[in-house]
């Protein structure tokens, strides 16, 4: 026996089992092929989208304004209401709402039976007051003469008594009369002095009463004159004239209507130089100063303007919160704009140079973080971008695009789920 080689020999392989293994492998591969063929046809294939009609824009750069957007309302330089001067009936109306008229233009006419009767009564009151005035003037003149006569009589009678007393004093010294006769004469002089004082005061009282009556009569006469003058001025207002150059906004009544005193008949406003009263959030107000440029945006047109003034009086609005009022003026007179028209104002607080931007379009979604379809030859690739502030019809591109990139600007509604789409170069229109 040789020394090399295994002591136990390997068991020989069964050729039959080897054939069975090959057959099993072949069967397994066949099953896989048979299953894969129908599965290939049944599974959905990755589809593509081709856009044939669209608009696009190129990313450009320009100077962007730093703006503070505020809301406000356009007000006329002057707005007035014309009230009924008295209770009466409107007999004629000569203007219509929307008419632009000059100052002193005839607006309407009124009539009033009540005013006519008041004028008649006032004329009668003035006549009576004038008669009373003349009467009291005569009475004062009489009392003046009476007062002068009373004073003269008092002085004369007292002088006579005084002379008589002095004569009796001489007679008493000569012994011609008794002491009692002298004392009686002295008592008579003293009593006469008292009586004369009473007469003098009584006469003065009568004179003062007459003077007071005249003063009152003059006052009543002046009041009656004033009342009649006012009524005549009121009568002149039966013809109502425009107090300003302006436009008729509203006429509250029709011809033939009866109106009360002080009710509003017509509303008017000036046409030239309207202004905007804006509400500026307090947090933004410290950055806004007089003469800053602004853009005034109405529903129909944009206008250039400037900040005239900013108030320091803080107010509160339920929607806006704390704010201060500001006045915005138009750079050029825009003419008549309906009072209290709401508008938006963009106040320019500064500028930024070389800002990348795209025009506004339906491709812009809510929020600043979004995507656009960037054009690359005959493909459009979904590209994440961050957009910033608006400036007019343009929006800032903060991140995601470069200068010169082209972007589809029409709606993405039909293909927003695709990461990439095919495009027809001929179907694109530059925005």
CATH number of 91's domain: 2.40.50.100
Place of tokens 């010169």: 404
Q: Does residue 8 surpass a pLDDT of 50?
A: no
pLDDT of residue 136: 93
Task: Verify that 283 and 372 share a domain, yes or no.
Answer: yes
Element (H, E) at 148: helix 113-174
pLDDT of residue 48: 84
Task: Verify that 329 and 413 share a domain, yes or no.
Answer: yes
Task: Verify that 218 and 124 share a domain, yes or no.
Answer: yes
Number of domains in the chain: 3
Q: Cα 112–116–120 angle (5° rounding)?
A: 165
The pLDDT > 90 percentage for the chain reads: 65
**For residues 407 and 358, is the Cβ–Cβ distance under 8 A?**
yes
Task: Verify that 373 and 415 share a domain, yes or no.
Answer: yes
Question: Would you say residue 19 lies in a domain?
Answer: no
What confidence tens digit (pLDDT) does each residue in 210-228 have? Answer: 999 999 999 999 999 999 9
Q: For residue 252, what are the domain limits?
A: 79-110+238-269
Question: Would you say residue 419 lies in a domain?
Answer: yes
Cα Rg of the chain, angstroms: 55
Q: How far is CA 324 from the centre of its chain?
A: 13
What confidence tens digit (pLDDT) does each residue in 145-157 have? Answer: 999 988 888 888 8
**Alpha carbon separation from 264 to 20, 248, 252 (Å, rounded):** 113, 13, 7
Q: Tell me what the mean pLDDT of segment 332-357 comes to.
A: 93
Question: Would you say residue 262 lies in a domain?
Answer: yes
**Alpha carbon separation from 337 to 79, 272, 327, 329, 381 (Å, rounded):** 12, 9, 16, 13, 48
**Alpha carbon separation from 412 to 56, 366, 423 (Å, rounded):** 12, 14, 13
Task: Verify that 217 and 184 share a domain, yes or no.
Answer: yes
Question: Would you say residue 225 lies in a domain?
Answer: yes
Confidence of residue 170 (pLDDT cuts 50, 70, 90): confident
Q: What is the distance between the alpha carbons of residues 79 and 46, in angstroms, rounded to a whole number?
A: 69
pTM exceeds 0.75 for this model: no
Residue closest to 391 by CA, chosen among 160, 148, 12, 60:
60
What confidence tens digit (pLDDT) does each residue in 257-271 have? Answer: 999 999 999 999 999
If one counts every other C-beta atom within 10 angstroms of the C-beta of residue 200, the result is 15
């Amino acid at each position: 026996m040789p020394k090399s080689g295994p002591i136990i020999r390997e068991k020989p392989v069964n050729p039959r089992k080897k054939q069975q293994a090959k057959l099993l492998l072949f069967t397994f591969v066949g099953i896989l092929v048979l299953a894969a063929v129908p599965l290939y046809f049944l599974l959905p294939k990755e589809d593509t989208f081709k856009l044939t009609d669209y608009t696009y824009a190129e990313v450009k750069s320009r100077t962007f304004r730093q703006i503070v957007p505020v809301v406000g309302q356009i007000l006329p330089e002057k707005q007035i209401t014309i009230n009924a001067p008295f209770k009466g009936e409107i007999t004629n109306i000569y203007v219509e709402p929307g008419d632009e008229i000059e100052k002193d233009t005839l607006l309407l006419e009124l009539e009033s039976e009540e005013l006519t009767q008041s004028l008649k009564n006032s004329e009668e009151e003035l006549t009576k007051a004038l008669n009373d005035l003349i009467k009291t003037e005569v009475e004062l003149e009489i009392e003046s003469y009476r007062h002068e006569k009373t004073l003269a009589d008092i002085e004369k009678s007292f002088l006579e008594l005084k002379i008589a007393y002095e004569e009796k004093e001489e007679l008493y010294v000569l012994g011609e009369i008794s002491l009692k006769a002298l004392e009686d004469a002295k008592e008579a002089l003293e009593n006469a002095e008292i009586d004369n004082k009473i007469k003098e005061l009584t006469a003065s009282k009568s004179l003062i009463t007459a003077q007071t009556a005249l003063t009152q009569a003059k006052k009543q006469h002046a009041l009656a004159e004033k009342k009649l003058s006012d009524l005549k001025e009121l009568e002149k207002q039966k013809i109502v004239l425009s107090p300003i150059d302006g436009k008729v906004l509203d006429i509250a009544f029709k011809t033939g209507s009866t109106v009360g005193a002080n009710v509003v008949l017509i509303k008017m406003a000036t046409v030239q130089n309207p202004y905007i009263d804006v509400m500026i959030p307090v947090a933004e107000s410290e950055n806004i100063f007089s003469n800053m440029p602004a853009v005034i945006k109405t529903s129909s047109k944009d206008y250039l303007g400037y900040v005239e003034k900013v108030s320091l009086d803080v107010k509160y609005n339920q929607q806006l919160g704390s704010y201060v009022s500001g006045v915005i003026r138009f750079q050029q007179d825009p003419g008549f704009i309906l009072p209290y028209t709401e508008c938006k104002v963009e106040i320019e607080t500064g500028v930024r140079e070389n800002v990348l931007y795209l025009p506004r379009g339906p491709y812009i979604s809510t929020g600043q973080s979004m995507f656009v379809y960037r054009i690359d030859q005959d493909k459009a690739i979904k590209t994440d971008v961050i957009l910033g502030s608006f400036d007019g019809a343009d929006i800032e591109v903060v991140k995601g695009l470069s200068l010169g990139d082209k972007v589809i600007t029409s709606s993405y509604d039909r293909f927003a789920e695709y990461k990439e789409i095919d495009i027809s170069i001929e179907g694109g229109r530059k925005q």
